[in-house]
């Protein structure tokens, strides 16, 4: 973000706080009044939640309703007027009321506002905000409470019965105007009392405990202070003193002094200064950016540093060029190193029709990056002793079991399924909301397609169906819906508040719309393998997931897996470059590259981890494009030039001739097995190298792109199989058959030919036997 943009955001904040704004249209803001965030003495503690109906940016602002530590209720629609500029800029506003003086004193009031932060963090997904992107703003007593939250937060009580109390009350930024920062000397010594501000009547020995100036430390969030130099009630020295402490501890902080302004920014004549006057004076002091504005706009936690380094400019230009050409519609990128953000930026339109821009908090469909996320849930149950990676998958399944066409079904373990060596074949199935076909139950999918085509453990074959089996096992073992389990056990502990299996209802209308290759908006679609493909996440959230797996977790992330489990997920077999959910290769230096990509209608994604270098690169796009791959490689060249001097995609094409099919000459008869029954299949291998095929009662046709190599026959032809799953779209039938003595056996894969929807790739077992007779002539079946 440029300094100009940051100033713009800060100005919006100042305008919203200092002057009445034009009222937003009723349809532009959602007002939820009197949300109860706690109780005390039979009284409800409440806040109003103001949410922008359009283009929320995922950041939240808590406004402390406090003057003299008195907190009064006012109509929330009226409050919405005050925060119009914030709402228009996408911020969700929480108008927090605390237990009011004179009934309650400052120690009790501080407990209330801490509870408010904890409640919002614990329920962040409900309000569509990122708990790492919560700022707090207040003036006078509200400024004091804002600073207390900034400098004296804690991580919550892990032993508390209430889940809210287990949650941290940390905030990412503070804006405090004319705040009292030191209560020492203000808290009266009994029997004296302060009748004007009764909240100050508590034990004098505790004055420092609730004085922000005494609690500044290096991990405090960026803070913006605004104070008039003619304030008789809270003198300017309060802000100056805490600014000195911030500077001593190298906490990013700025003080804007409004000349001639008193308390409440009122001048000597008692009139409130105009917004224009305040801003004109403030501009003279805004040489640095209000880092608070940065935190509120992009939600970078205080322990992370955003570096907009010039070295990423060529990559940025590449993205902008491709986005301008419309391919893809948008892209979001986040780069971490050692747990610090080096680059986080969104480009293009998340929704072209609504003119909604993409950013790093926009939820994207991840496609196959769902697999390492599902594998993380699987490993959690392994650690709990509820699953065993080396146990047969069938022991965890229901009525439908895996069937072995080759080998033994009991050898298909959770580990072999997770690393794609179980023998399950190629598989995907998409079901679009604007069409009648619906995803079958998982038991039905397993009954139809859960067949092992190769001996478990012998051969790698990428299969979405395997991760559909694993998500079903997670569901059955945990006793919870897969979506619910992943939300509660993975997304929430990781702080992935803008993520879910499929799109959570709270995030609807905020996601990156999936566009087909013609630039048309795709309808929602479902799967029969959600564990393989159904996750949505923002680039920011996915970077948090990656940070955990390179073992640089953020402070607020729960350690749901032990380090040895993380390492085990990234371990591979000798001949298989895939672990438990991760593709794993080696760099020239010998260090690991752990990654996963994703691609399906309207989706292209890449997540790359370099565990030894503590690097995470996330690139997400809402259209089919090579750009995520290109961006990833260019970023890695910048970070590790020696390891990434050349692209790993540049492979020389093979000049080998296609091995002859001479050993297959003759006629082969057999069947393709479908869940609706067997269909007759015949192949003729001609002396001239042509191969003809007939399926059922159809005419003989030419098998195209024939290759016979290592006793494996591949080829394809236009055809179909007589099942409802296959007949719903035009398709090509692909052969992947293995020669075993006088038998050809393996997969006939029905793959939809739609260039935009890619409905399915469904594998069916086929077996053929050689006939002793000579092959038919070309004229024998010409009729």
Q: What's residue 780's pLDDT?
A: 38
Range of the domain at 435: 319-639
206 pLDDT more than 70: yes
Tokens of 635: 């970023």
| d(C-alpha 228, C-alpha 263), whole Å | 7
Domain membership of residue 654 (yes or no) is no
415 within a domain of the structure (yes/no): yes
pLDDT of residue 694: 97
pTM over 0.85: no
Share of the chain above pLDDT 70, in %: 86
Is 648 among the domain residues?
no
Count the residues in the chain. Answer: 783
23 compared with 735, residue with greater pLDDT: 735
Which pairing describes strands 134-139 and 60-65: parallel, antiparallel, or unpaired? parallel
Residue 92 is assigned to a structural domain of this protein: yes
Q: In this structure, are 205 and 332 located in the same domain?
A: no
- Residue 652: pLDDT over 70: no
Q: Are strands 330-337 and 340-351 parallel, antiparallel or unpaired?
A: antiparallel
What are the strands of the beta sheet with 499-501, ordered from one edge? 363-365, 535-538, 499-501
Around Cβ 731, how many Cβ atoms within 10 Å? 22
For residues 558 and 416, state if they share a domain. yes
CB atoms within 10 A of CB 276: 11
- DSSP code of residue 561: S
If DSSP codes are grouped into helix, strand and coil, which group holds residue 614? coil
Q: What is the largest CA-CA distance in the chain?
A: 116
Res 292: pLDDT: 40
Distance, in Å, from the CA atom of 236 to the CA atom of 262, rounded to the nearest integer, reads 9
Instruction: Flag whether pLDDT at 8 surpasses 50.
Output: no
The CA distances from residue 609 to 363, 420, 585, 637, 648, in Å, are: 20, 20, 11, 14, 16
Q: Is residue 80 very low, low, confident or very high in pLDDT (cuts 50, 70, 90)?
A: low
Let me know whether 143 and 100 are in one domain: yes
| CATH code assigned at 574 | 3.40.710.10
481 and 350 within one domain = yes
d(CA 667, CA 670): 10
* Domain termination residue (choose one: 608, 639, 670): 639
pLDDT of residue 519 exceeding 80: yes
d(CA 544, CA 554): 7
Token representation of residue 279: 């801003």
Which residues have C-beta within 8 Å of that of residue 625, sequence separation ≥ 6?
A: 322, 327, 328, 604
Read off the CATH number of the domain in which 722 is found: 2.40.128
Res 281 pLDDT > 90: no
At residue 105, the pLDDT reads 95
Query: 206 vs 53, which has greater pLDDT?
Result: 206
On whether both 286 and 383 belong to a single domain, the answer is no
Question: How far is the C-alpha of 370 from the C-alpha of 376, rounded, in Å?
Answer: 10
Bridge partner residues of 749 (DSSP): 734, 763
| C-beta separation of 707 from 715 below 8 A | yes
* pLDDT for the residue 716: 97
Distance CA 392, CA 100 (A): 61
Q: What is the pLDDT of residues 590-605, one digit of tens each?
A: 789 999 999 999 999 9
Predicted confidence band of residue 773 (pLDDT cuts 50, 70, 90): low
Q: pLDDT tens digits, residue range 531-583?
A: 999 999 999 999 999 999 999 998 889 999 999 999 999 988 656 789 999 99
699, HSE (Cβ side, Cα atoms, 13 Å): 8
Q: Are residues 414 and 517 in the same domain?
A: yes
Please say if the pLDDT value at position 698 is more than 50. Answer: yes
Q: If pLDDT is split at 50, 70 and 90, which confidence band does 78 have?
A: low
Q: What is the chain's Cα-based Rg?
A: 31
Q: What is the number of other CB atoms lying within 10 angstroms of the CB of residue 463?
A: 24
Q: Residue 148: which of 185, 179, 105 has the closest Cα?
A: 179
Cβ burial of 457 (10 Å; 0-12, 13-18, 19+) is: middle
How is 502-550 classified by DSSP, letter by letter?
A: B--GGGTTSSPPPB-TTSPBPPPEEES-HHHH-EEEEHHHHHHHHHHHT
Alpha carbon distance 511, 533 (integer Å): 16
Is 230 part of any domain?
Answer: yes
pLDDT 10s digits, 167-201 = 999 999 999 989 999 998 899 989 899 989 999 99
Residue that is last in its domain, among 579, 607, 639: 639
Residue 645's pLDDT is: 64
Same domain membership, residue 284 and residue 204: yes
**Of 138, 131, 126, 135, nearest in space to 155 by CA:** 131
Q: How many CA atoms lie within 13 A of 417 on its CB side?
A: 34
DSSP bridge pairs for 94: 49, 62
Closest CA to 466 of 527, 378, 531, 404: 531
* Residue 422 reports pLDDT greater than 60: yes
pLDDT of 64 above 60 = yes
How many Å apart are CA 537 and CA 333, to the nearest integer? 12
Residue 298: is its pLDDT beyond 80?
A: no
Output DSSP code: residue 760.
Answer: E
- Shared domain for 383 and 243, answered yes or no, is no
Band (pLDDT 50/70/90 cuts) for residue 646 is low
- Select the more confidently predicted residue: 310 or 724: 724
Q: Tell me, yes or no, whether 338 and 269 share the same domain.
A: no
Summarize pLDDT for 447-467 with one digit per residue, the tens. 999 999 999 999 999 999 999
- Neighbouring C-beta atoms of residue 777, cutoff 10 Å: 10
pLDDT at residue 81 greater than cutoff 90: no
Please give the Cα distance from 500 to 509 (Å, whole number).
14
Question: Does the structure show a pLDDT above 90 at 658?
Answer: no
| Domain containing residue 282: CATH number | 3.40.50.1820
Note whether 272 and 389 are same-domain residues.
no
In angstroms, rounded to a whole number, what is the distance separating the alpha carbons of residues 714 and 748? 10
Give the model's pLDDT for residue 659. 61
Cβ(169)–Cβ(117) under 8 Å?
yes
Q: Quote the pLDDT of residue 772.
A: 76
Q: Which two tokens stand for residue 631?
A: 């961006």
The 3-state secondary structure of 159-202, one letter per residue: CCCCCHHHCCCCCCEEEEECCCCCCCCCCCCCCCCCCCCHHHCC
Show the tokens assigned to 653.
Answer: 């094409």
pLDDT at 350 over 70: yes
| Per-residue confidence (pLDDT) for residue 299, from 0 to 100 | 39
The verdict on residue 163 lying in a domain is yes
Q: Which of 500, 608, 530, 533 is nearest to 368 (CA)?
A: 533
Q: Please tell me the distance from the alpha carbon of residue 418 to that of residue 422, in angstroms, as a whole number.
A: 8
Written as six digits, the tokens of 24 are 């937003």
Question: What angle in degrees, to the nearest 10, is found between the helix axes of 313-324 and 627-639?
Answer: 170
Domain total of the chain: 3
Residue among 332, 255, 344 at smallest CA distance from 301? 344
Is residue 489 over pLDDT 70? yes
Tell which residue, 558, 289, 311, 576, has the closest CA to residue 418.
Answer: 576
Confidence of residue 654 (pLDDT cuts 50, 70, 90): very low
Amino acid 398: pLDDT = 92
Instruction: Say yes or no: 691 and 597 in one domain.
Output: no
pLDDT at 10: 44
The count of other CB atoms within 10 Å of the CB of residue 753 is: 12
What's the rounded Cα separation, in Å, for the pair 544 and 303?
Answer: 13
**Of the residues 267, 298, 329, the one at which a domain ends:** 298
Q: What is the pLDDT of residue 15?
A: 40
* Confidence (pLDDT) at 245: 93
Residues 303, 518: contact at Cβ < 8 Å? no
Q: Could you identify the residue written with the tokens 């006629």?
A: 667
Q: Report the pLDDT value the prediction gives residue 485, as an integer from 0 to 100.
A: 97
Query: Residue 713: enclosing H or E segment and its boundaries?
Result: strand 712-718
Q: Name the phi and psi angles at 372, rounded to 5.
A: -65, -25
The verdict on whether omega for the bond into residue 88 sits within 30 degrees of 0, i.e. cis, is no
- pLDDT at position 478 is 97
pLDDT of 661 strictly over 90: no
**What is the rounded distance in angstroms from the CA atom of residue 452 to the CA atom of residue 237?**
76
CA distance linking residue 138 with residue 144, whole number of Å: 8
Least confident of 359-373, 489-503, 630-644: 630-644
Q: Is residue 362 a part of any domain in this protein? A: yes
627, part of any domain: yes
277 and 334 together in one domain:
no
- Cα separation, 745 vs 452, in Å, equals 12
Confidence class of residue 733 from pLDDT cuts 50, 70 and 90? very high
Our CA dihedral for 366, 369, 373, 375, rounded to 10 degrees, sits at 150
Report pLDDT for 27.
60
Token pair, residue 198, equals: 């009764």
Q: Are the C-beta atoms of 281 and 249 separated by less than 8 Å?
A: no
Average pLDDT, the chain: 86
- The C-alpha atoms of residue 330 and residue 322 are separated, in whole angstroms, by 9
What secondary structure, in 3-state letters, does 356-390 show?
EECCCCCEEECHHHHHHHHHHHHHHHHHCCCCCCC
pLDDT level of residue 282 (50, 70, 90 thresholds) = very low
Tokens, residue 303: 């322990």
């Amino acid at each position: 973000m440029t300094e100009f943009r940051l100033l713009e955001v800060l100005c919006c904040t100042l305008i919203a706080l200092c002057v009445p704004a034009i009222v937003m249209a009723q349809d532009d803001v959602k007002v939820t009044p009197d949300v109860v965030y706690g109780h005390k003495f039979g009284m409800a503690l409440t806040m109003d939640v103001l949410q922008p109906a359009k283009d929320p940016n995922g950041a939240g602002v808590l406004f402390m309703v406090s003057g003299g530590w008195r907190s009064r209720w006012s109509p929330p629609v009226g409050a919405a007027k005050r925060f119009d500029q914030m709402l228009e800029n996408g911020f969700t506003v929480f108008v927090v009321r605390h237990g009011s003086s004179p009934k309650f004193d400052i120690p009790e009031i501080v407990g209330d506002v801490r509870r408010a932060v904890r409640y919002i963090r614990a329920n962040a997904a409900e309000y569509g905000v990122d708990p790492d992107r919560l700022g707090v703003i207040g003036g006078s007593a509200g400024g004091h409470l804002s600073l207390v939250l900034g400098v004296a937060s804690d991580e919550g009580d892990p032993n508390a019965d209430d889940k809210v109390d287990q949650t941290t009350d940390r905030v990412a930024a503070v804006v405090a105007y004319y705040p009292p920062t030191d209560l020492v000397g203000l808290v009266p010594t009994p029997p004296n009392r302060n009748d004007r501000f009764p909240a100050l009547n508590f034990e004098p020995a505790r004055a420092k405990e609730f004085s922000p100036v005494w609690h500044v430390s290096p991990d405090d969030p960026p803070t913006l202070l605004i104070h008039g130099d003619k304030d008789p009630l809270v003198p300017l020295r309060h802000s100056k003193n805490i600014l000195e402490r911030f500077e001593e501890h190298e906490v990013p902080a700025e003080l804007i002094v409004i000349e001639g302004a008193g308390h409440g920014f009122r001048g000597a004549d008692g009139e409130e200064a105009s917004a224009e006057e305040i801003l004109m004076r403030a501009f003279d002091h805004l040489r640095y950016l209000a880092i608070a504005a940065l935190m509120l706009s992009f939600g970078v936690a205080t322990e992370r540093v955003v570096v907009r380094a010039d070295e990423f400019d060529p990559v940025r230009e590449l993205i902008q060029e491709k986005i301008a050409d419309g391919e893809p519609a948008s892209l979001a990128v986040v780069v971490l190193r050692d747990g610090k953000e080096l680059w986080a930026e969104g480009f293009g339109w998340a929704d072209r029709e609504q003119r909604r821009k993409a950013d790093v908090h926009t939820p994207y469909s991840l496609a196959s990056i769902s697999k390492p996320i599902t594998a993380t849930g699987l490993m959690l149950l392994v650690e709990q002793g509820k699953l065993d990676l080396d146990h047969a998958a069938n022991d965890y399944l229901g009525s439908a079991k895996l069937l072995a066409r080759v080998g033994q079904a009991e050898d298909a373990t959770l580990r072999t399924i997770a690393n794609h060596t179980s023998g399950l074949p190629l598989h995907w199935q998409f079901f679009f909301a604007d069409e009648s076909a619906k995803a079958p139950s998982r038991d039905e999918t397993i009954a139809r397609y859960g067949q092992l085509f190769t001996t478990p453990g012998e051969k790698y074959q990428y299969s979405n169906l395997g991760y559909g089996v694993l998500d079903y096992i997670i569901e059955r073992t945990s006793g919870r819906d897969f979506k619910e389990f992943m939300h509660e056990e993975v997304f929430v502990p990781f702080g992935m508040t803008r993520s879910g299996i499929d799109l959570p209802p709270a995030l609807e209308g905020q996601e990156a719309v999936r566009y087909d290759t013609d630039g048309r908006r795709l309808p929602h679609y479902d799967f029969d393998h959600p564990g393989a493909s159904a996750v949505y996440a923002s680039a920011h959230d996915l970077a948090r997931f990656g940070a955990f797996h390179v073992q640089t977790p953020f402070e607020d992330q729960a350690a749901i897996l032990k380090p040895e489990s993380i390492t085990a997920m990234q371990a591979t077999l000798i001949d298989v470059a895939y672990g438990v959910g991760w593709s794993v290769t080696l760099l020239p230096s010998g260090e690991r590259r752990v990654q996963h990509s994703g691609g399906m209608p309207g989706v292209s994604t890449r997540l790359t981890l370099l565990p030894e270098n503590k690097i995470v690169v996330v690139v997400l796009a809402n259209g089919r494009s090579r750009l995520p791959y290109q961006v990833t490689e260019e970023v890695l060249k910048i970070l590790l030039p020696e390891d990434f001097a050349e692209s790993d995609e540049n492979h020389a094409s093979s000049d080998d001739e296609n091995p002859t099919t001479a050993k297959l000459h003759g006629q082969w008869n057999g069947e393709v097995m479908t869940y609706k029954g067997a269909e007759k299949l015949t192949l003729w291998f001609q002396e001239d190298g042509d191969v003809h095929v007939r399926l059922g009662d159809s005419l003989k046709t030419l098998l195209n792109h024939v290759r016979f190599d290592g006793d494996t026959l591949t080829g394809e032809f236009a055809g179909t199989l007589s099942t409802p799953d296959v007949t719903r779209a035009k398709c090509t039938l692909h052969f992947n058959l293995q020669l075993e003595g006088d038998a050809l056996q393996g997969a006939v894969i029905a793959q939809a030919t739609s260039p935009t929807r890619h409905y399915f790739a469904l594998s069916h077992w086929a077996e053929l036997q050689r006939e002793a007779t000579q092959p038919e002539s070309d004229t024998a079946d010409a009729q």
